[in-house]
């Protein structure tokens, strides 16, 4: 039996002894996020319980925060206002189920207003309900015109791995999507994709994944030749990589990592690691750790992306101020770290909300720094709301909500 399953079973058993049965409510299965792979579905309930208990361990030195009434995610309705900066990318792309639930589509919107400029159908063998909850991926080159959609398929979602299909398309100056072209068969077979990232020049695609034996890897695919190079974590390391991002002229890849030997898969903090693709070797764990314990300013790192110049890393952190309460007061923060040291440079934005038990897991599991503009000034982010955040422009910390998915849902992947 895998170490992670033993860990979850033992901790759940200890926790269950403290539970008062009369206080339990029926468990609602949360939707979202591909990073909790299909192979971990049998452990979802256990991880959820452990998450609520262990999240409090990461809280330290917090000031008293305003506590609004507990609510469901559907309360937020994006309203775009104010003028958009001239250097803001003009368009962003997300994926969703097609109208009437007939397949999956890529949706192009203007960054200034969120208005839809075009859609394109994406072939998929996955059930439609996965379109909004992690069955698809999207990434873009630095030109804000070239996009790649990744779709997992080939097996039932409950199997240990899925094949990855890749489709490329471009958008016009007016934001109209062109013809969708499937790339040569991707080498990721019977594996579970965690995220993809197109290099700034559009020539290389980085893919973070887990294979059927729970071995983590990052593969870089040359889109012109089909050649691949793979970095693999040591066997039995229970080492889970997050979505990759590129820097330093398509040489350095940054990604979050999670060691599931820590208590509670969903509450365990993610460290941040840098991989120099020009260096010799193929050991994924040999890269540079810049945030080894995954905790920044008393919050647990959930997602991170390196800026194109390689100088900084933009992260989103999470902390639950009331992990044992029936409603959870959560603090979501976006911050800038120095890539050379991992130290906090500045806090960009803080969001405080309250959620009931059924939704607090979904919110944490959906947080992300999803995409950075070509100069690293603006980021598409999913916090308690989806939108763009000024991370290096003239008005750092400014957040503008954007439409992307139906109210009450969250964006797992978006790109510009």
Whether the per-residue pLDDT at 221 is higher than 70: the answer is: yes
Task: Residue 224: count other Cβ atoms within 10 Å of its Cβ.
Answer: 10
The residues pairing with 349 across neighbouring beta strands, listed in sequence order, are: 334
DSSP state of 291: E
pLDDT at res. 264: 46
Helical ranges in 318-377 per DSSP H: 357-366
Share of the chain above pLDDT 90, in %: 43
Across 147-151, average pLDDT: 92
**Model confidence over 230-267: pLDDT tens digits?**
999 988 777 788 999 999 888 999 999 887 644 444 55
pTM: 0.78
- Residue 95 pLDDT grade (very low, low, confident, very high; cuts 50, 70, 90): confident
Of 224, 179, 226, 218, residue with least CA distance to 196: 218
Residue 11 near residue 266 (C-beta atoms within 8 A): no
The token pair that represents 128 in the structure block: 């439609």
Instruction: Say if residues 313 and 254 touch (Cβ distance below 8 Å).
Output: yes
Sequence-distant (≥ 6) Cβ neighbours of residue 325 within 8 angstroms: none
Q: How far apart are CA 246 and CA 303, in angstroms?
A: 14
Give the C-alpha separation, 328 to 196, whole Å.
32
Mean pLDDT of 349-378: 90
Which whole number is the average pLDDT over 173-196?
84
Taking alpha carbons only, the member of 55, 78, 40 closest to residue 402 is 78
- Please give the angle made by the CA atoms of 348, 206 and 166, to the nearest 5 degrees: 110
**CB of 153 closer than 8 Å to CB of 186:** no
Confidence at residue 44, expressed as pLDDT on a 0 to 100 scale: 36
What is the Cα–Cα distance from 60 to 316, expressed in whole angstroms? 17
The CA angle 332-108-316, to the nearest 5 degrees, is: 15
pLDDT of 320-350, one tens digit each?
999 889 899 999 999 999 998 889 999 999 9
Residue 198: which pLDDT band, with cuts at 50, 70 and 90? very high
What pLDDT does residue 285 have?
A: 86
For residues 164 and 193, is the Cβ–Cβ distance under 8 A? yes
**Residues 51/264, Cβ–Cβ less than 8 Å:** yes
The pLDDT assigned to 192 comes to 82
> Given this model, what pLDDT does residue 260 score?
62
How many whole angstroms separate alpha carbon 115 and alpha carbon 197? 25
Beta pairing partners, 177: 171
User: Are the CB atoms for 307 and 290 separated by under 8 Å?
Assistant: no
> What is the spatial distance between Cα 148 and Cα 389, in angstroms, rounded to a whole number?
23
Q: Taking the CA atoms of the chain, what radius of gyration do you get in angstroms?
A: 20
Residue 176: count of CB within 10 angstroms of its CB:
14
- Nearest Cα residue to 267 out of 230, 239, 294: 294
More confident of the two residues 222 and 124: 222
CA separation for the pair 210, 40 (Å, rounded) = 12
The residue among 3, 87, 64 whose CA lies nearest residue 261 is: 3
Query: Exposed, middle or buried, 211 (CB in 10 Å: 0-12/13-18/19+)?
Result: middle
pLDDT tens track for 46-73: 333 333 333 333 333 333 333 444 444 4
Q: Specify the residue for token string 């630095």.
A: 142
Taking CA 244 as the corner, what is the angle to CA 149 and CA 80, rounded to the nearest 5 degrees?
Answer: 65
Would you state the structure tokens that stand for residue 9, as one six-digit string? 């079973």
CA distances from 240 to 45, 232, 246, 415 (A): 19, 11, 18, 23
Question: Pick from 87, 106, 103: which is nearest to 171 by CA?
Answer: 106
């Amino acid at each position: 039996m895998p170490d992670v399953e033993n860990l979850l079973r033992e901790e759940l058993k200890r926790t269950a002894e403290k539970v008062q049965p009369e206080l339990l409510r029926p468990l609602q299965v949360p939707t979202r996020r591909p990073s909790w792979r299909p192979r971990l579905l049998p452990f979802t309930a256990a991880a959820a319980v452990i998450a609520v208990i262990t999240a409090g361990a990461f809280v330290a030195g917090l000031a008293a925060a305003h506590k609004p009434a507990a609510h469901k995610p559907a309360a937020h309705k994006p309203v775009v206002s104010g003028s958009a900066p001239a250097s803001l990318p003009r368009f962003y792309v997300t994926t969703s189920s097609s109208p009437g639930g007939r397949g999956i589509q890529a949706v192009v919107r203007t960054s200034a207003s969120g208005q839809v400029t075009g859609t394109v159908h994406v072939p998929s063998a996955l059930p439609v309900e996965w379109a909004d909850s992690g069955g698809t991926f999207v990434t873009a080159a630095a030109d804000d015109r070239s996009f790649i959609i990744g779709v997992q398929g080939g097996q039932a979602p409950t199997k240990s791995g899925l094949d990855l299909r890749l489709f490329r398309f471009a958008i016009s100056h007016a934001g109209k999507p062109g013809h969708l072209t499937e790339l040569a068969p991707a080498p990721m077979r019977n594996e579970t994709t965690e995220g993809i990232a197109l290099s700034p020049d559009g020539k290389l695609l980085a893919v973070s994944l887990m294979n059927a034996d729970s071995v983590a890897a990052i593969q870089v695919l040359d889109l012109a030749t089909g050649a691949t190079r793979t970095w693999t974590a040591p066997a039995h390391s229970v080492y889970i990589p997050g979505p990759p991002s590129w820097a330093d002229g398509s040489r350095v890849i940054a990604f979050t990592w999670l060691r599931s030997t820590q208590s509670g898969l969903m509450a365990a903090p993610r460290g941040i690691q840098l991989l120099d693709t020009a260096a010799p070797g193929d050991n994924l764990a040999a890269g540079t750790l810049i945030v080894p314990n995954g905790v920044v300013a008393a919050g647990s790192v959930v997602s991170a992306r390196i800026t194109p110049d390689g100088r900084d890393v933009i992260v989103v952190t999470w902390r639950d101020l009331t992990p044992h309460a029936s409603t959870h007061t959560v603090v979501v923060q976006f911050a800038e770290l120095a890539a050379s040291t991992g130290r906090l440079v500045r806090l960009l934005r803080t969001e405080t909300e309250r959620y009931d038990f059924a939704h607090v897991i979904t919110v944490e599991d959906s947080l992300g720094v999803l995409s950075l503009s070509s100069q690293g000034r603006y980021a598409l982010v999913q916090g308690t709301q989806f939108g763009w955040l000024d991370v290096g422009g003239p008005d750092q910390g400014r957040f503008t909500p954007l439409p992307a998915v139906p109210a009450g849902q969250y964006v797992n992947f978006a790109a510009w």
